[in-house]
Structure 1
Amino acid sequence: MTGERRRGRGRISLTAALLAVAVVVGGCASLPESSSPQAIGTITREPVVVSVPVPTPGREPDLLLRDFFSASTDPADKHLAARQFLTPAASDRWDDTASTTVVDKVDVLPESRADDQATYTIRANRVGQLDDGGQYQAVEGNFEAKVRLSKVNGEWRIDDLPPGVIMDRPQFLKTYQRKALYFLDPSGTTVVPDLRWISATQEQMPGRLIELLIAGPKPALSDAVQNMAGKVSVLAPITKADGRSAGVGVGFGGLHIDFTGASALDQNARDLLAAQVVWTLAAAEISGPYVLTGDGAPLDERYANGWTTADVSSTNPMATTSTTVGLHGLVDGALVAVNDTGVSAMPGYFGTATTLESIALSRDGRLAAAVADTGKPEPEPRSALMVGPVEGFATPALEAGSMTRPTWSRTEPAVWTVVDGTSVVRVVRDPQGGQLVVLPVDTADLAPLGATITELRLSRDGVRAALIVDGKVYVATVVPRPDGGYALTAPRPVAIGLGSPALSLDWSSGEAIVVARAASDIPVVSVAVDGSRMDALPSRNLSAPVSSVDASVTTVFVADARAVFQLNNNDPAGDRYWREVPGLTGVKAIPILPG
């Protein structure tokens, strides 16, 4: 193992873009219109040792109920910690597998009380639902249930309660950790995050992550990703790389995992399996190197002594072309390149036009697609989609009454937009004749969401799409069809409680979206892709409204009422504020990054 590869084994974090000055967790706690949101919880990166309550002698019944909800966050041994608060008969009847609901602002209201029996009504706000495999789904609504308690040997115990687990949100956040499983995009060229919430110690975490990886992606992603881990199994325990017994599987010596059935895979499939495993473990801050074998033999002889993230860098989920393509802007209806000293006009159609309303650059920066004002009077189409080389001639692809800001796919030169607020289309170039072809995208699953789509942005891995529909934020899955077409499926709300209509959005990473909302106090927030958290970004220096957002892993760019500003996600929390973009100081523009 070379010294260079040893230095590459440092622990990494794939969540730096989610730093925030205030946190709203769970997706249901609304952001206010006129005051800063209160920080009600954070997600801890380091292992957390959380003690759950045990029944206290002489405890009053209402306080015992609150202790029970706290203990319910420990799922070990069929929620044994919580069952201590139940009578034996109630413990036998309680089905803890029926559902898992995360609630906030729990009220314990007395209904009746006698010497040896008491009844309470539990009321709370539903903020989330935890499904099999730690899948979090943001929900909203009221929760209400009745619970009866009886005295057993002079101590209050719960005698009757509804099926399912109820978890108080603050305790849930202390007990569960959010981790990402990584699956493969359809082309097998990058990995795609699948967020899960897991209750496990750091020693248990490697085995739990590999178990979930083998079990496969959540249903919403199953038709859009590949899973090489689903073709193997792990029979022996995970061990330290030096061969000592695992129990833990964590330590300075790294990990050793032997996959049964991996020897039947071809070399490419084994390398893709390694990519999934390495990124999943590295993102969970489990130190490598990762010695991966299949039926006792190395998955790849080149890495017999262990894999690092450098060995799977080609599938890096955080890779971006923003630094190589650079920042561009839309100024006075034309595309410009931005540098530290100012802007420079671009050659070709996009740099000389004066009627561009929005524009998107392809992932490699070579192509552009722009919505231009046709200048035609109504009822003639007033918007035209122009596509072509970024420094060359553009070809009109279609005309319509309106079109959303274009967005480019990752693996093919195709641009997506929403026509007249309802129809999603892809524009590709016919490989035979070279003509631009407009193809419909199946959006049947989006129909129940609302009337008008005002924003559509494809994730960098191409597997998800973020949308604004009637001011609300959704994430849908991009599913390839056998006929070569695509569908947007399984849309999920991810910004419940946003408080104000969403105006613009963009992907900062595969795990988070930056959203500009119609509010002056907190105009920009970051939202987790599973809806489990909403982070208020700083508002210092911004003047509402914020009309446009473009983001990368490290930086968020916005256009407000005055100028273009940037927020560096790597700045210390106390020094994070919006700064004017060098080169665009005093210029009214729209920031443009690839995608």
Structure 2
Amino acid sequence: MNRVSPAAEAAATSSRARRSVARGAVAAATALAALAGCASIPTEGPVAQGDVVLTENDALFLQVYGPTADATPEQIVRGFLSAQAAGVNEAFATAREFLTEGARQEWDPYGQVTVYSGDLGLTMASAPSADGVADGAGPSTEQPAPDLAAVDQVVLSGPANIAGVVDVAGQYVEASKDARQDVSFVLAKDAAGQWRIDEVADGVLVSQPNFASVYRSTPVYFLSPDLTTLVPELRWFPQRNIATNAVRALLAGPSEWMRDAVVSGAPAGTALSVEAVAIDAAGTASVDLTGPVLAADEDQRALLSAQLEATLQRISGVSDVALTVGGAALTVKPHSDLERDPAPDGPALGVQAGTLVSLDGRQLSPVVGMPSLAALDPTALAVRGDVVVARLGEERLVRLSTAGEATDLLAEPGLVAPSVDRFGWVWTGSEDRDGTLTAVRASDGTRMDLVVDWLAGQEVRRVKVSRDGARVAVLSAGPEGTQVEVAGIVRDASGSPQRLNAPVPVGGSLASASDAAWVDEVTVAILGDRADGEAPGAATTVALAPVGGQTETLQPVEAAAGVAAGRGKRAVYVRTEGGDLFTRSTTGTNWSLVTTGVDLFTFPG
């Protein structure tokens, strides 16, 4: 179940080099280069006749053409880039027409997909001679524009603004805001005197618009270890065969960063018996599996069926799933309901004038029985079920009860704002402790200190556990700037946290971050200061950052101090330093004032 691709493992282990949201262009280019070892995105496997092209209202299939006669080197490169984007639909046959015979044999397009933004500012020069100097240029002279009639080889090169990279498993890693990567194409004349690309890096280089038209993101679902909740991993695949690729990814198991934090109903060795998932006109996706699935008992089959249904029904055109083995129907009992994308289990809570209040629509009402906080200096709040926790100053965590009591949970300097998970554990960290997070069980005060090696040298600023309890978002600061990272939580059979996996970075395109909250099962809302020279907090950007996707920036909020979220992108709230509470307007484009005088505000989870 837990088979992990080398590319995914490399991406996880090198995340420290990639995760800074404030690093410079040189560091960004180095980080992206670390991804060059990615193998192949699974788009080249044989596809049975039953595999269909999914129809989506906004889907575009690029139509590309081979090189025209007497095309210039730049026209050849531009045509090659366009053909790369459409290549997943035709085995890159058109793209290879732009290459020399030798390059056609050597180029492997099934490596990483590098997505760039804007245009490529390519400069043409004569190819270097054996001594490393371009023909016609002295050792210290600027290379002149080549005379295409007089040379047989040229180089087109220039910087690309990198938006992100997709690896073999479909995992998207967003690049930092100013990430650059040098790209280069060596062209030579063939026997007919036509320019063709003779040297090109493996993988494909795709513009953001072309990437958006060819690829789609889709969640691939695994299971929480207690078998109650579906936990997603966001993956990106060519939309033409997205159903087949999503099932392949599910059967291959979770990525390294989620390993042991989730489980799967698929027995080891289970695969597609035919490399295709056929979707008929009625919307039924037929999944034919190999023999190892027969080793699963009926409960395990039911769980696998639930995973496949949850995964495939997120794809346009799929309404049902039929499981077979060698063409024979696989007996699967009805599975018990598994929770997907859990909603907050209660109303949002806040502090107003020293009183704990709950939000109902746009009205805040006192929570009956709770102690007054007026003299306690509350600075942060967290809630889940009947567990309500406040941070007092920066050195105490207390549990509040409707009996009017405040019971101590933890006392030490520099505690960060708490987060309560669905197992009743209260998570925090300390700005003064190097690489350690603390979880305290609210019911009995049991304490777990988790040493997190990837936080070594970092100052923890924020900890937020996802509502499914399988992942945690950690905001920290260090020499490279501020990072927001998400890691899988490995727990024992009782739900007690044992360790964190190596993380993946999110919100890489932001310049800095000050707060974070889970919006849905794959998205984190991040409060980040704008990178335009203004003073921090003057106009703070609110961003929606998918775990494995491109960050979407919302309208800034003046003097924003904190972010909270219910379930969904319309349920994001921002509190300002002056106590104004805003939520997204009905159009989703602006912010609407909810109420004023709010000192703290949070949703359960």
TM-score interval, normalised by the smaller of the two chains: 0.7 to 0.9
Rounded to whole Å, the distance in 2 between the matches of 1:474 and 1:45 is 34
* 1:158 matches 2:197: yes
* 1:122 matches 2:137: no
Shift in alpha-carbon separation, 1:421–1:529, aligned structure 2, 3 A = farther
Q: 1:284 aligns with which of 315, 331, 334?
A: 315
Shift in alpha-carbon separation, 1:174–1:77, aligned structure 2, 3 A = closer
Give the match for residue 489 of structure 2. Answer: 478
Q: Which amino acid aligns with 1:139?
A: A
Q: Secondary structure at the match of 2:551?
A: strand
Q: Which amino acid aligns with 1:523?
A: T
Rounded to whole Å, the distance in 1 between the matches of 2:22 and 2:543 is 12
Shift in alpha-carbon separation, 1:400–1:62, aligned structure 2, 3 A = same
Q: Aligned-pair distance for 1:558?
A: 1.3
Rounded to whole Å, the distance in 1 between the matches of 2:449 and 2:391 is 18
Rounded to whole Å, the distance in 1 between the matches of 2:351 and 2:65 is 57
Rounded to whole Å, the distance in 1 between the matches of 2:547 and 2:357 is 32
Q: Aligned-pair distance for 1:27?
A: 10
Q: Which amino acid aligns with 1:416?
A: W
Q: Which runs of 5+ in 1 are unaligned?
A: 1-25, 32-43, 240-245, 303-310, 374-381
Asked if the contact 1:369–1:386 (Cα under 8 Å) also holds between the matched residues in 2, the reply is: yes
Q: Secondary structure at the match of 2:561?
A: coil
* 1:233 matches 2:271: yes
Rounded to whole Å, the distance in 2 between the matches of 1:149 and 1:156 is 6
Give the match for residue 446 of structure 1. Answer: 455
Shift in alpha-carbon separation, 1:47–1:98, aligned structure 2, 3 A = closer
Q: Secondary structure at the match of 2:121?
A: strand
* 1:425 matches 2:438: yes
Give the match for residue 148 of structure 1. Answer: 186
The equivalences for 1:29-44 within 5 A come to none
Rounded to whole Å, the distance in 2 between the matches of 1:29 and 1:408 is 26
* 1:188 matches 2:221: no
Shift in alpha-carbon separation, 1:221–1:286, aligned structure 2, 3 A = farther
Q: Which runs of 5+ in 2 are unaligned?
A: 1-17, 24-55, 127-145, 531-537
Shift in alpha-carbon separation, 1:297–1:427, aligned structure 2, 3 A = same
Task: Provide the TM-score with structure 2 as the length reference.
Answer: 0.77
Q: Secondary structure at the match of 2:467?
A: coil
Q: 2:76 aligns with which of 64, 78, 88?
A: 64
Asked if the contact 1:446–1:491 (Cα under 8 Å) also holds between the matched residues in 2, the reply is: no
The equivalences for 1:529-568 within 5 A come to 529-530=547-548, 532-539=549-556, 542-553=557-568, 554-562=570-578, 563-567=580-584
Superposition misfits of 4+ residues, deviation over 6 angstroms = 26-31, 350-353
Asked if the contact 2:313–2:320 (Cα under 8 Å) also holds between the matched residues in 1, the reply is: no
Q: Which amino acid aligns with 1:65?
A: V
Q: Aligned-pair distance for 1:488?
A: 2.2
Give the match for residue 372 of structure 1. Answer: 392
Give the match for residue 508 of structure 1. Answer: 519
Q: 2:349 aligns with which of 312, 322, 328?
A: 328
Rounded to whole Å, the distance in 1 between the matches of 2:396 and 2:22 is 38
Give the match for residue 546 of structure 2. Answer: 528
Asked if the contact 1:445–1:488 (Cα under 8 Å) also holds between the matched residues in 2, the reply is: no
Rounded to whole Å, the distance in 2 between the matches of 1:103 and 1:28 is 19
Give the root-mean-square deviation of aligned CA atoms.
3.0
Q: Secondary structure at the match of 1:166?
A: strand
Q: Which amino acid aligns with 1:419?
A: S
Q: How big is each residue's C-alpha offset from its partner over 1:143-195, in whole Å with a ceiling of 9 and x where there is no partner?
A: 22432212232422111223443333332222211111111112111111111
Q: Aligned-pair distance for 1:234?
A: 2.9
Give the match for residue 12 of structure 1. Answer: none
Q: Aligned-pair distance for 1:280?
A: 0.6
Give the match for residue 251 of structure 1. Answer: 281
Shift in alpha-carbon separation, 1:208–1:456, aligned structure 2, 3 A = same
Rounded to whole Å, the distance in 1 between the matches of 2:169 and 2:283 is 29
Q: Which amino acid aligns with 1:317?
A: R
Rounded to whole Å, the distance in 2 between the matches of 1:256 and 1:101 is 32
The equivalences for 1:206-217 within 5 A come to 206-217=243-254
Q: Which amino acid aligns with 2:247?
A: I
Identity of aligned residues (%): 25
Q: 1:361 aligns with which of 383, 388, 392?
A: 383
Give the match for residue 242 of structure 1. Answer: none
Asked if the contact 1:28–1:138 (Cα under 8 Å) also holds between the matched residues in 2, the reply is: no
Q: Secondary structure at the match of 1:594?
A: coil
* 1:95 matches 2:108: yes
Task: Provide the TM-score with structure 1 as the length reference.
Answer: 0.78
Q: Which amino acid aligns with 1:566?
A: T
Q: Which amino acid aligns with 1:315?
A: L
Asked if the contact 1:464–1:478 (Cα under 8 Å) also holds between the matched residues in 2, the reply is: yes
Count the aligned residue pairs: 509
